Amino acid sequence: MPTWIIIVIIIFSLLTLFVVLSYLKLKKATNDTGSFNLLHLSDSDFQKTISKGVTLVDFWADWCMPCKLLGPTISNLADNNADKAKVAKLNIETYQKIAAINGISSIPTVVVFKNGKEVERSVSVKPKHYYQSMIDKALNK
């Protein structure tokens, strides 16, 4: 067997191993990195939490891989904005009624509320600065 074929097989095997290990690591990841400033909303406190000031809400589900990718970003935003805005998560599997009322059809969906009214929405994973700009815009309105 030619040397180049052996090299291609080795490279392909290493790439496959990398992909599998990355997937397994992500599958075990949690959606919450333990921020003390991150709020976990429910049916009973959702409306009260968003009713005053600026609140960014991450609508997510435990089985959603992109949601797991977004988790550390949301926790970081909660810590960075603790003095000016609330950052929260709502599990759409557990609280389906709130998700339906807010028209959540894809996840992750991040919605910014100001004084109880939706001011901006984003679907899918975006970089941290994108979500920070959503918060900043709402604070400056």
Task: Please give the Cα distance from 55 to 37 (Å, whole number).
Answer: 12
Active-site annotation holds for 27? no
CA–CA gap between residue 93 and residue 74 (Å, rounded) = 19
CB 50 within 8 A of CB 113: yes
In what order do the strands lie in the sheet containing 54-60? 38-40, 86-91, 54-60, 109-114, 117-123
Answer yes or no: 64 catalytic: yes
What is the C-alpha R_g of the chain? 19
Among residues 50, 56, 64, 99, which one is catalytic? Answer: 64
* Residue of 67, 78, 90, 112 marked catalytic: 67
Phi, psi values for residue 33, rounded to 5°: -95, 15
Residue 110 · residue 121 · CB < 8 Å: yes
Catalytic residues: 64, 67
